[in-house]
Amino acid sequence: MRTDATQGSISRARSQPEFGRPPVRLPVDRLTLTAVEHLLRRFPGLEGFPRVDLGVRPTPTEEIELDGFPIAVKRDDLSTPVYGGNKPRALEFLLAPRPRRVMTFSSLLAYHAYATAVHAAGLGLKTDVVLVRRGRESEVTELAEALAARFCVVPGVTAALARALAWWRPGTRVVPPGGACARGAVGTLAAVFELEQLPRRIYVPLGTGVTASGLLAGLMLREAVTEVVAVRVADRVAGWRALVWARAFRAAALLRRFDPQVPRAAVGGVSLRVVSADGEYGQDTSSARATVERLRAVGLTLETTYTGKTMEVLLRERMPGALFWHTYSRPKALRTAEERGFWKVTPM
């Protein structure tokens, strides 16, 4: 296996304190290949691994500087032209093979439900959405409702299960909340293969933890020496390290079942640190709002629930070699089939 663990070599930008400066593209020569193409080059036996094409494209790593502190940013907010962020990477695997209908669950903030409904619609599929009354209502709640074939808000997990049982029919694919399962983690696992330089640490929001698991799995397969700093914004249980690690190992094992060339994942130099974010889930803290404003000045759009709180931790720690995994894409109303895009079902 190629050992590709160039450490901490993120190039420095000129200092311009206070306002920082607009992101600068680092010379990244891997951008011509998608994450999946990288994976296939490395492990050709994964050819038959079920995947649908949602138009996920390679995302650049850029560098920003805030108060003289350089930060690399993996622009996964740009992961698809229709609706990017961390979700489509997972959905390419969760919606394969193409089902007849989709059902999923989210909190009131509903980014996951929205992303699922948008991308399922791009495949010509209807999505039923069950929201659990957690977090706060926002514009995404309405956008998800507008896209869903059936939509309801329930008080808790038991009611969500009851509704799922009532709605389920043969052929319905149940996508777990946040896409949190080993298959969902494969999307981010593949994205790790897009990184030209493996950073010393990656800051990522932790909601359900599936993105963090994907990072751990991809980093293990690349034999990296990297710390994943997962900023927990939601339930404590989602941040249990054993849970996040177990999902990472299962994701790597899933690939290994298709291609024995995929090595058995080993922790090696990869580590996980879970940090609790300030405030309750969905709480719009003044410090998260200030961070979002600060980043707007350098041309990045964050929000206050996930990415703002994660960037806040990164800026507080100011550890060298930091890469921020940008998971947020701004939802918008997508009314026509053209706006949603249409992606053919293709084997990986």
> Would you tell me which residues interact with ligand PLP (CB under 6 A)?
85-86, 111-112, 178, 205-212, 306-307, 327-328
A 10 A CB-CB count for 338 gives 8
Cα torsion 69, 57, 180, 127: sign: positive
DSSP state of 280: S
Smallest separation, CB 1 to ligand PLP (Å): 26
Decide whether 43 or 291 has the Cβ nearer to ligand PLP: 291
Give the residue with the Cβ less far from ligand PLP, 40 or 305: 305
Nearer to ligand PLP (CB atom), residue 328 or residue 343: 328
Q: How far is the CB of 260 from ligand PLP (least distance, A)?
A: 28
130 DSSP β-pair partners: 105, 152
- Of 88 and 99, nearer to ligand PLP (C-beta) is 88
Residues contacting 221, CB < 8 A, separation 6+? 1, 189, 192, 252, 262, 263, 265
* Whole-number Å distance between alpha carbons of 179 and 104: 8
Pick 193 or 325: Cβ nearer ligand PLP: 325
Closest contact distance (angstroms) between CB of 232 and ligand PLP is 9
Shortest CA distance to 303 belongs to which of 282, 277, 275, 276? Answer: 282
- Contact between 131 and 106 (Cβ < 8 Å): yes
Nearest-approach distance from CB 214 to ligand PLP, in angstroms: 8
Minimum CB separation of residue 151 from ligand PLP in Å reads 17
Handedness of CA 22, 138, 285, 210 (dihedral sign): negative
The residue at minimum Cβ distance from ligand PLP is 207
Closer Cβ to ligand PLP, 223 or 284, answer by number: 284
Find the helix packing angle between 210-221 and 241-258, rounded to 10°.
60
Closest contact distance (angstroms) between CB of 173 and ligand PLP is 18
